[in-house]
Amino acid sequence: MQGIWTTERIRAAEDRLLAVTPDGELMRRAAFGLSVHAAEMLAEHTGSVSGRRVTLLVGSGNNGGDALWAGAFLRRRNVAVSAILLKSERAHAQGLAALKRSGGKVVSVEDGPQWIGRADLVIDGIVGISARGPLRADAAALWEHVSSPVLAVDLPSGVDPDTGAVDGPAVVADRTVTFGALKPVHALAPASCGEVALVDIGLRPELGDPDLQRLDTADVAAAWPVPGPGDDKYSQGVVGVAAGSATYPGAAVLAAGAAVRATSGLVRYAGHAADVVRGRWPETIATGSVTDAGRVQAWVVGPGIGTGHEGRDVLRFVLGRGVPVCADADATTIIAHSPDVLDARDPDTPLVLTPHAGEYERLMGSPPGADRVAAARSAARKYDAVVLLKGHCTVVAAPDGRALVNTPQGSWLATAGSGDVLSGLVGALLAAGLDPWLAAGAAAHVHSLAGSMAADGAPTSASGILDAVPDAIRAIRSHPL
């Protein structure tokens, strides 16, 4: 797993490291790594490095210092470097001196637009982990002239470093080079960061346990259940799917299908769409009601069951079975409106809730807000459940405080029925015995990869995502560990 630390933790660790490192050494390490990426981008986008033009947008703190020192290093490769100082009187003195010594130019903010216009690469050294809010007016005015590739120093300026929220003018980078450790913005704002590269400046020993995690492919590959010689259809875990209705069988077909495709375990379907599900997935054991569905190791409940009495009875029954439950869609709404259904749940049995923002608001009485990690953690505590908060980036929080972020590949999942597929994947992994927090994270990871594979650059559908699940699992399992 990739550790992610908040800016407060990063700053504390940097202070500890600065205390035992020669003055300026950390910054030069960061800046040298930054200059290597800048040269790589110049070569990538223009075919050469020497003679190319780089413009630095320089803020008043150490983020600007990184950019100035990187400019000095680029000068050694005969790159023409010009620096626009947003607050010339507060620019990082040593960095500015280093740039001038190397032959770099300092240009006025007024002349900035023309130096930006002719740049082969713009380096965003406006603000880093001290950022508060969107770009200020002077920086925003310059940003409007940028049309070249952009390299962000530490993080794209104007994006909240700890939540990834963008609520005003902000840099959109092709690549972000960060130092020491990932910050939440790098997982929560992929569209703003572009490709994220991490430069080691020796910070890791000072950091301690991360505040957040991001599953990497190796984690998902290791977690995903695969049958062994001693397995049979039961040993992989039997998952029950209580979804859909005679009027709306689609959710049942999608959720049951996802469970069928996720693992080799047996899938039992229970509900009024039994004939349709059986017809589409003959390998399932489909019955008309949860009460005669037989034994399972986990339940998926909610998609298309309706929020009336019958839906409530189905949910109450499932919650009372003493096995992990993934409650999605209508089940989330029922829990929000009739929390007494949770009385049926044995407190020790894991519950996974998978709300989108609207369902979250029903559960919690207010929308998730800018800090979606804090929001997911708050719901996890309130319901003593793993909460998978859907969004462009999915956040999964556990009642014990663990939280992970799944950085999606595109926005292809925003299509009807996509959530039904996700809930089937979660249920299958719960039935296989995975830790519920890991099961939700791994399911979100595969769901997101299946979405981008199914889309392959064009809009897709829940059925397309479902069909791509096996290829997504193959891709993850074939990834070099």
Indicate the annotated binding residues for AMP: 390-394, 419
Distance CA 446, CA 215 (A): 11
Distance CA 118, CA 97 (A): 24
Contact at 8 Å (CB) between 95 and 33? no
Helix ranges, 76-211 (H): 93-101, 112-117, 137-143, 184-188, 190-193
Which of the listed partners (K ion, ligand LP7C6HRI, none) does 320 bind, with a CB threshold of 5 to 8 Å by partner kind? none
The distance in angstroms from the start CA to the end CA of the chain is 12
Q: Give the footprint of K ion on residues 107-136 (CB under 5 A).
A: 124
Distance CA 481, CA 477 (A): 9
Q: Is 18 in the site for ligand LP7C6HRI (CB under 6 A)?
A: yes
Candidate residues 3, 113, 133, 410; the one interacting with ligand LP7C6HRI per rule CB under 6 A:
133
Q: Give the position of tokens 């995502």.
A: 465
Q: Which residues are annotated as a binding site?
A: 62-66, 124, 128-134, 154, 157, 251, 304, 356, 390-394, 419-420
Residue 479: left if φ>0, alpha if ψ -120 to 50, beta else—which one? beta
Q: Give the footprint of ligand LP7C6HRI on residues 408-427 (CB under 6 A).
A: none
- Shortest reach from residue 58's CB to K ion, in Å: 10
Q: Which is nearer to ligand LP7C6HRI, 141 or 475 (CB)?
A: 141
- Shortest reach from residue 133's CB to K ion, in Å: 14
- Shortest reach from residue 27's CB to ligand LP7C6HRI, in Å: 5
- By rule CB under 6 A, what string of x and - marks binding of each residue 197-216 to ligand LP7C6HRI? ----x---------------
> Residue 389, SS3?
strand
- Shortest reach from residue 154's CB to K ion, in Å: 5
Distance CA 364, CA 360 (A): 6
Q: Give the footprint of ligand LP7C6HRI on residues 92-131 (CB under 6 A).
A: 126-131
Q: Which is nearer to K ion, 66 or 219 (CB)?
A: 66
**H helix and E strand count, the chain:** 18, 18
**8-state DSSP, 175:** E
Q: Which is nearer to ligand LP7C6HRI, 28 or 272 (CB)?
A: 28
> Residue 479, SS3?
coil
Q: Give the footprint of K ion on residues 133-152 (CB under 5 A).
A: 152
Distance CA 130, CA 132 (A): 6
Contact at 8 Å (CB) between 116 and 55? yes
Across the strands, what pairs with 147? none
Q: Is 164 in the site for ligand LP7C6HRI (CB under 6 A)?
A: no
Q: Which residues are annotated as a binding site for K(+)?
A: 63, 124, 157
Q: Which is nearer to K ion, 64 or 355 (CB)?
A: 64
Candidate residues 4, 30, 364, 454; the one interacting with ligand LP7C6HRI per rule CB under 6 A:
30
Candidate residues 2, 6, 60, 307; the one interacting with ligand LP7C6HRI per rule CB under 6 A:
60
Contact at 8 Å (CB) between 183 and 155? yes
Contact at 8 Å (CB) between 30 and 179? yes
Residue whose C-alpha is closest to residue 32's, from 1, 83, 66, 80: 66
Q: Which is nearer to ligand LP7C6HRI, 135 or 379 (CB)?
A: 135
Residues that bind K ion (CB under 5 A): 124, 152-153, 157
Binding site for ligand LP7C6HRI (CB under 6 A): 14, 18, 26-27, 30, 59-64, 66, 126-136, 139, 153-154, 157-158, 179, 201
